[in-house]
Structure 1
Amino acid sequence: MKNIALLSGAAALVFLTGACQNRKDVRTPKYNIVYIMTDDHTAQMMSCYGSPYAETPNLDRIANEGVRFTNSFVANSLSGPSRACMLTGKHSCANKFYDNTTCVFDSSQQTFPKLLQKAGYQTAVIGKWHLESLPSGFDYWEVVPGQGSYYNPDFITQDNDTIQKHGYITNLITDDAIDWMENKRDKDRPFCLLIHHKAIHRNWMADTCNLALYEDKTFPLPDNFYDDYEGRPAAAAQEMSIVKDMDLIYDLKMLRPDKNSILKATYESFLGRMDKAQRAAWDKFYDPIIKDFYKQNLSGKELANWKYQRYMRDYMKTVKSLDDNVGRVLDYLEKNGLLENTLVVYTSDQGFYMGEHGWFDKRFMYEESMHTPLIMRLPKDFTRKGDITELVQNIDYAPTFLELAGAPVPEDIQGESLLPLLKGEKPENWRKALYYHFYEYPAEHMVKRHYGVRTERYKLIHFYNDIDWWELYDLTKDSSEMHNLYGQKEYEPIANELKEELKRLQEQYNDPVRFSPDRDKE
C-alpha cells in the first residue's frame, strides 16, 4: 500500500488515502521534473561525494542546494537493464529486460512517462536510450542509436530519420534539451524531461577543448589494484582488468599504423567521424603521447600504472564536459524562473570501477558498481537539505515522480516513493534490504550471473549458472570487499539470516531464479 503526499504552497499536507485506486480526487501542484542521467559515472569521481580527484562544481551545486543520497543503488548494474528498471519501477525479472545482448525492451508496457502523460504532463527524452526498441510515452524524443558517438553523432528522430549532427555529443544533447524547454513545449503545462548522456561511457573521448586538462595530475593506485581475488573465483574469472583487458588503442588512444588490437578498427571509425579541425586538434594532443609511449616500451607494473593514469585522465576530461553542461541546464532553469518549481535529479545508470580490484567497467554486485550517485535539487516547497542515508534503489524513481505529480502509483510498481524522505520524514517501515540480480553471461567482460541481498551492514552474493559460489561481506569492517566470510562458522547465523531475507525478496519480486535455504544447509 502506498500513500501520497500533496504539497500546497509552502506547506506539505499529507493525505493517507490508501491504495492507488482510491486516489482519483488527489490534487497537487504540477512540479516540473528534469532528470539528468549519465552512463557509467561513479560517485567516487564526483567532488560532492568526496572525490579527491574530480572537481564537479555544477553537480556539487545540485547537492549543496538539495540532497545527496549516500546509500543509492541499482538493481542490475548494466546500462539497458538499469534504464528499464528506472522507467518501469520494476526489477529486471518484472520488466523482462535482463541484459544488453539478448533483450529488446517491450515499449508497450507501463512506464512512468506514460503515466505522467495521463496526468497532464509533457514528456521528452533526449540522448542515450539503449533499449533496442524506439521510445514510447514521450511527446518528444530524439535519441542516439546504440551507444552513440562522441564526435558528430547520429540521432534518431521521431520521424524515424537518422540524422548526423556536428559537434561533441554532450554539448549537442544539452543544446537539444534546452531548445525543447525553450521552443518546443507548451509552457502552460508541467513537463518531465529526461536528459540521457552518453558520457562518461567507454572509450572516454574528451571534447577537444578539454584534451590538455589533468595531464599534470598523478593518481595513486587504489590499495586493491593488484587484488589476487583469493576466495572469490567469480572475481578472478572476469575480463575487465585494466592490466589485461584495457585496449591500448581503443581505450587509451595509442594508435600507430604498425600496431594492432581487437578494437583498433572501431577506434578508427570513431576518428573517421571527426572533421578536419577536430582531427587536427586530436592528433596534435595525442601524437607526442603516442611517440613517447612506444619509445618507453613499458611492461609489468610500469605499464599497468601508465594505463591507469591515462584512463583516469581521459575519464576526468569527459566528466568535465558533462559537469559544464549540467551547469548550462541549471542556468537555463534559473534564468527562466523554472528552478524553484522543478525537481532536478542527477544520477548515473550504475557505478563504475576506477581501478578498484584492478578493474574498469561495472556488472558486479560489489559496491563500486552497485552503488550509484543520486543527488536532487528540490522544489521550493521542500525544505530538506543534506544527506539522506536510507537504502534506495533505481526502481524508486518512477513512484517518486508519479507521487510528486499527483498521479496514481500502480500497485504493480515494485519501487517505493522517495517523497517521504525528501520531506524529511523517517518512515519506520522503510526497507532494510535491497535485492540485486545480474544476468548477462556469457558476454563482454565475462562477469558471471549472480543475485544477492544488501543490508546496511552486510552483503550476501550467490554466483550461479556455471558456478555455485557464495560470498559474504561485512561492509563496516571490509568496505573494499576483499575478504569473503562465507563458510566461516562464526558468520553462519548471519549468512542464514541473509538467505532467508534473500528468499523473501525473491518471492516479493517474483524472481523465478531462486535457491532453497534449507537445501543449501544440507
Structure 2
Amino acid sequence: MKTPFTALLVLLVTFTSINASTAQTGNKKSNRPNILYIMSDDHGYQAVSAYGHQGLNKTPNIDRIAHNGAIFSRAFVTNSLCAPSRAVMLTGKHSFVNGKVDNVQKFNWDQESFPKLLRKNGYQTALIGKIHLDGLPQGFDYSAVLPGQGDYYNPDFIVNGEKKQIHGYVTEITTDLALDWLKNRDMDKPFCLLYHQKAPHREWLPAPKYYKQYTKMKFREPETLFDDYSGRGTAAKTAEMNILKNMNWSGDSKIYPEIMSALGIEETTNWGIRAFNNNLGRMDDAQRTAWDAVYRPIAEEFEKKYPSMDHEELMHWRYERYMQDYLASIASVDEGVGQVLDYLEENGLEDNTIVVYTSDQGFYLGEHGWFDKRFMYEESLRTPLVMSYPKEIKPGTKIDAMVQNIDFAPTFLDYAGVDIPKDMQGESFRKVVGGENPEWRDAVYYTYYEYPSIHMVKRHYGVRTDRYKLIHFYYDIDEWELYDLEKDPHEMKNVYDDPEYAEVQKNMHGRLTEIRKKYGDSDANDQRFLHAYLEAIKK
C-alpha cells in the first residue's frame, strides 16, 4: 500500500513527465509528430557534402539531418522540372494524373493534397518560399510565397494573397519568415511547415558574405566535363545546356554587357542581358556597390584574358564561374537550415519533429558538360534526400531503397495517422526508413514533357531498376536508350542495340509496359499533353 507521500511523489513524477513531453512536441493535445519539409530548387545531390563528393562545397547543417537520421542514396523524381515536381510532392500522384506535366499547364489547387488532409485533421500548416505553382495556395493556414521563380534581391512575396516587397536577400528572408511563423504558431496543434528556398536556381546570385568568399575558390571538375555524346543518341547531342555553348554570358557568368560588347561576344539567349539588368536592377545602392566591387574586377580580368583563350580554357573558366555562384548560393541555404534546426533543438521540438531536406530535382554540375536538369539521366533524375525523426529513425541510417517524390504525401500522412487516399500513387516509406525492411518497389517510372522549349530536351519516358535504365525519346524522334548502371554509372554508352543485352532489352521493355499500366500512363496521355502544350505555347 502506497503512503500519501509516495502517492504524491508518483503524481509529481507523472506530471513532470507529461510537461516534458509537451515541451518537446510543442503540441499539448496530441503526440503526433510535427513535420518540417525543407526543399531547395535545383540542388544536386553532388553538392551535399554528406554524400561524400570531394572537391565541392560543405553543407554542415544539411549533413546534421543525415547524421541524426537517414540519408537516401537512391531518391528520384518522377519529372525533373520545377513546377511538376512540386505538384507531385503535394498530391502524391504522377504528373499525367495531377495534370501539371510542365511549367506551362495550369495547376489545379482544388485537387486533394497532403497539406489539406493534415489541416483537416488538426495540423496547423504553412507554406513559405518558392512553390512555382500559379494561383493562391490551398491547404495552408499561412502562406508567403514567391511569385513565379522569384528574385534573389529585394524579392516580392505573396503573403496570404497580398503582394509585398521585402528588402534583403531572398534565402535569408525565407528563413526569417519560417522562423517567425514557428515562433508565433498555435502551440496547441502539431505543425506542418513547407519551407522552400529559391536557391540555388539559376541565375545563382549569392549573398555578399558568400560571394566574397566563393569567387576566390576553385573546384574539382567532373571527369565527363568534355563529353562529346558519341555514345548516345540524338537527344543528348541536340540538347542546349552545355556550359560553354549555351550558358548565358551576362545573366549566368556575370559578364557585364558593355564588356561583352567590347569583346564582340553575343549572348546565347535573348534573356541573358535582360536577366543581368533585371537582377542587378533590384538591388539598392549599397547592394549594387558591394556586388560591383567583387564582380566587375572578375569581368575586367576576363576581358584581358579572353582574346587568347581557346575553347578548352573557356570551358574551364565558365565551369569555375558557375560553381562559384551556384555553391555560394547553397551556402546561404545551408545556413538557414542550421538556424531552423537550432530553433527546434532550443525549444524541445527536435525529438517529435520529422525533418526532411530535399530538392525539387537533381542538377548537372558540369557532368557531360551540362547545367540544368530535365533528362532521365542520373544527375537529373536523382535528388538529395536526408531525413531525421529521433523517435523512429536511428542516427546514421543509410537507405538504398528507390523512393520518389510521389512518396512524400503518403509518408507524411502515415506518420500523422491520417488515412491515405486510395488514388495516391506513392507509397509510405515510413517502415523503410524505420528499419523494418518491408517489401518495396524494384523500379521507378519517369516522364518528361516540356519540348520544344528552353534547353531543347526531347520528350521522353522510361523505367529504372536497380541496375538498368530504359528510356524512350519520342515526338519528333523515335529512339531508345538502354544503360547498364553497374558497368556504366556515368551513362556514356547506349547498349540498346548491343546483342549482348538483347535479353536485358526484352526484360526492360516488359518492365516498362508493366509500370506504365500500374500508374495508368499511355501513348494517348503523351499525345493529349503534347497537343495541350503546343496550343498553350502558341498563345
Fold match (TM-score > 0.5): yes
- What amino acid is the match of 2:248? D
Deviation at 1:95, TM superposition (A): 0.5
Distance 2:447 2:121 in 1: 32
Equivalences for residues 28-67 of structure 1 within 5 A:
29-52=31-54, 53-67=56-70
- What amino acid is the match of 2:353? T
CA contact (8 A) 1:384 1:423 kept: no
Is the counterpart of residue 330 in structure 1 residue 341 in structure 2? yes
Is the counterpart of residue 394 in structure 1 residue 396 in structure 2? no
Distance 1:341 1:197 in 2: 23
- What amino acid is the match of 2:294? F
- What amino acid is the match of 1:282? W
1:445 to 443, 455, 467: 455
Equivalences for residues 230-245 of structure 1 within 5 A:
230=230, 231-245=232-246
* Percent identity for Structure 1 against Structure 2: 53
Equivalences for residues 288-437 of structure 1 within 5 A:
288-297=297-306, 298-383=309-394, 385-427=396-438, 429-437=439-447
Is the counterpart of residue 71 in structure 1 residue 81 in structure 2? no
Equivalences for residues 62-211 of structure 1 within 5 A:
62-101=65-104, 103-158=105-160, 160-183=161-184, 185-211=185-211
Deviation at 1:479, TM superposition (A): 0.4
CA-to-aligned-CA distance 1:419-454 (integer Å, 9 cap, x gap): 101210111x31000000001100110000000000
Distance 2:119 2:302 in 1: 54
CA contact (8 A) 1:150 1:205 kept: yes
Distance 2:509 2:517 in 1: 12
SS for the counterpart of 2:502 is: helix
- What amino acid is the match of 2:121? A
Number of positions where the alignment pairs a residue of Structure 1 with one of Structure 2: 486
Distance 2:473 2:289 in 1: 48
Deviation at 1:29, TM superposition (A): 3.3
SS for the counterpart of 2:314 is: helix
Equivalences for residues 441-480 of structure 1 within 5 A:
441-480=451-490
Deviation at 1:216, TM superposition (A): 4.0
Deviation at 1:339, TM superposition (A): 1.0
CA contact (8 A) 2:30 2:189 kept: no
Highest Rg: 1 or 2? Answer: 2
Deviation at 1:276, TM superposition (A): 1.0
Distance 2:130 2:496 in 1: 39
Distance 1:514 1:391 in 2: 27
Residue 501 of structure 2 is matched in structure 1 by 491
State which drifts further: 298-307 or 232-241: 298-307
CA contact (8 A) 2:146 2:158 kept: yes
Q: Which ranges of 4 or more aligned residues in structure 1 deviate by more than 2 Å? A: 214-221, 256-262, 379-385, 512-515
SS for the counterpart of 1:211 is: helix
Is the counterpart of residue 507 in structure 1 residue 522 in structure 2? no
- What amino acid is the match of 1:501? R
Deviation at 1:28, TM superposition (A): 8.1
- What amino acid is the match of 1:65? N
CA-to-aligned-CA distance 1:158-183 (integer Å, 9 cap, x gap): 1x321000000000000000100101
Distance 1:113 1:361 in 2: 29
Deviation at 1:254, TM superposition (A): 0.7
Distance 1:288 1:176 in 2: 35
Distance 2:397 2:324 in 1: 30
CA contact (8 A) 2:128 2:174 kept: yes
SS for the counterpart of 1:339 is: coil
CA contact (8 A) 1:29 1:405 kept: no
Instruction: Give the structure with the larger helix fraction.
Output: 2
Distance 1:225 1:407 in 2: 47
CA-to-aligned-CA distance 1:364-385 (integer Å, 9 cap, x gap): 0000000000000114344364
C-alpha change, 1:28 and 1:473, in structure 2 (3 Å) is farther
CA-to-aligned-CA distance 1:296-315 (integer Å, 9 cap, x gap): 11331111110001101111
Is the counterpart of residue 268 in structure 1 residue 269 in structure 2? no
State which drifts further: 322-331 or 230-239: 230-239
Gaps of 5+ in 2: 1-17, 19-28, 526-539
- What amino acid is the match of 1:62? I
CA contact (8 A) 1:206 1:314 kept: yes
Distance 1:378 1:162 in 2: 35
Residue 212 of structure 2 is matched in structure 1 by 212
Distance 1:394 1:200 in 2: 19
Distance 2:411 2:334 in 1: 25
Distance 1:113 1:219 in 2: 40
Distance 1:85 1:112 in 2: 11
